[in-house]
Amino acid sequence: MAWRAIKKQGHQSQMPGPRRPEVMQLGFVCALLSLLAGNSWADTRTIGARECHPNSQPWQAGLFYVTRNPYRLLCGATLVSDRWLLTAAHCQRPYLWVRLGEHHLWKWEGPEQLFRVTEFFPHPGFNQDLRAQDHNNDIMLIRLPRKARLGPAVQPLNISETCVSPGTQCLISGWGAVSSPIVEYPLTLQCANISILEPRRCRLAYPGQISKRMLCAGLWEGGRGSCQGDSGGPLVCHGALAGVVSGGSEPCSRPRRPAVYSSVCHYVRWIRKTMEEY
Ligand SMILES: *[C@@H]1O[C@H](CO)[C@@H](O)[C@H](O)[C@H]1NC(C)=O
Ligand SMILES: *[C@@H]1O[C@H](CO)[C@@H](O)[C@H](O)[C@H]1NC(C)=O
């Protein structure tokens, strides 16, 4: 399993735009939407995802990290109140830029809000040593330095207090790779319908690595799911946040290798307590 492997992408995006290739390059496994990986004819063909209706996922946030390559998209996140975001713990950096109200990453469309964040609350049970390949409790709260201005394009999403059952239809969204293993990143937010898979199948896909606080979602037959760059982003079921993208295998969306999510219903108490204390 190559979850959230820290490595650079070797392939450049074919999208237009001067700095897009470096800008969108990122080092984390998991992003959105994929293809029939493994079939050579389909190497760069994207299937399964489509552009979300602009601002139809008003809780979606993009996390950017400035390094040598400015404004690298690192992860997704979900606005859960006007002051807090929920994302994956492996997305933590010394600081991050948060974009809300975003759709097309390189166009100013009006509702965008930008925050520089430094207050991170990774789950205390998360193993900070990423080399340990320990995927437990890959969940983190981020506190915004000021309240987000809520409006049609910026709205929090309720967290799911009850656990969703296998077979439930859910929606994922993100700016993660739309093809794999030759990655291509979209400029606009992508959406896809996927299902919650049986825990038994999840354990079969990743033996010994799946805890009760994780869930697998995608299509068992492959072809649709999260991929690099989608980490930390939302899995929305019955109108509430049921999962946070944690990882998966590469290439993304192969048959029987669904993406893995932190199951939000198991963290409700920790989320509430943290939000109340700070
Ligand atoms: C969100 O949660 C609140 C409080 O639990 C509830 O009143 C509200 O109806 C929920 N909103 C949605 C869209 O489910
Ligand atoms: C997801 O499914 C719903 C209901 O079937 C449909 O209205 C929506 O367009 C689908 N979204 C995507 C991105 O395929």
The tens digit of pLDDT for each residue in 180-195 reads 778 788 999 999 999 9
Q: Rounded mean pLDDT of 63-88?
A: 88
Residue 170 to residues 167, 225, 266, Cα–Cα distance (Å) = 9, 11, 18
In this structure, what token pair is assigned to residue 235?
Answer: 């899995």
Which amino acid, residue 34? S
pLDDT at 9 over 70: no
In the set 195, 231, 249, 263, the catalytic residue is 231
pLDDT at 226 exceeding the cut of 90: no
Judge whether residue 85 has pLDDT over 50.
yes
pLDDT at residue 48, as a whole number: 66
Instruction: Give the pLDDT of residue 177.
Output: 82
Residue 37 domain-assigned (yes or no): no
**276: CB partners within 8 A, 6+ apart:** none
Asked whether residue 27 is domain-assigned, the answer is no
Ligand 1 binding pocket includes 162 (Cβ within 6 Å) = no
Q: Is the pLDDT of residue 42 over 80?
A: no
11 located within any domain = no
- Residue span of the structural domain in which 102 resides: 53-277
Buried b (16+ CB within 10 A) or exposed e, 229-254: bbbbbbbbbeebbbbbbbbbbbbbbb
Which carries the bigger pLDDT value, residue 26 or residue 117? 117
pLDDT confidence bin for 66, thresholds 50/70/90: confident
Lowest mean pLDDT among 13-27, 85-99, 174-188, 229-243: 13-27
Closest CA to 79 of 267, 241, 273, 261: 241
Single out the catalytic residue among 81, 138, 180, 253: 138
Mean of the per-residue pLDDT values of the chain = 83
In this structure, is residue 271 part of a structural domain?
A: yes
Question: Which pTM value belongs to this model?
Answer: 0.84
Return the minimum-mean-pLDDT range out of 106-120, 144-158, 215-229, 260-274: 215-229
CATH number of the CATH domain containing 191: 2.40.10.10
Q: Are 230 and 73 in contact (CB under 8 A)?
A: no
pLDDT of residue 132: 83
Long-range contacts of 111-119 (CB under 8 A, 24+ apart): 111/55, 111/151, 111/152, 111/153, 111/154, 113/148, 113/149, 113/154, 115/144, 115/145, 115/146, 115/148, 116/145, 117/85, 117/142, 117/143, 117/144, 117/145, 118/94, 118/145, 119/143, 119/145, 119/278
Q: Tell whether 106 is covered by a domain.
A: yes
Atom 10 (ligand 1): residue with closest C-alpha?
Answer: 158
In a domain, 46, yes or no: no
Rounded to whole angstroms, the Cα distance separating 33 from 217 reads 12
Residue with CA nearest ligand 1 atom 11: 158
165 is catalytic: no
Domains identified in the chain, total number? 1
Q: Is residue 6 part of a domain?
A: no
Query: Which ligand 2 atom is the nearest neighbour of the CA of 50?
Result: 13
pLDDT tens-place string over residues 101-133: 999 999 999 999 999 999 999 999 999 887 888
Please report which ligand is nearest the Cα atom of 238: 1
Residue 34 belongs to a domain: no
For residue 52, which amino acid is it? Answer: C
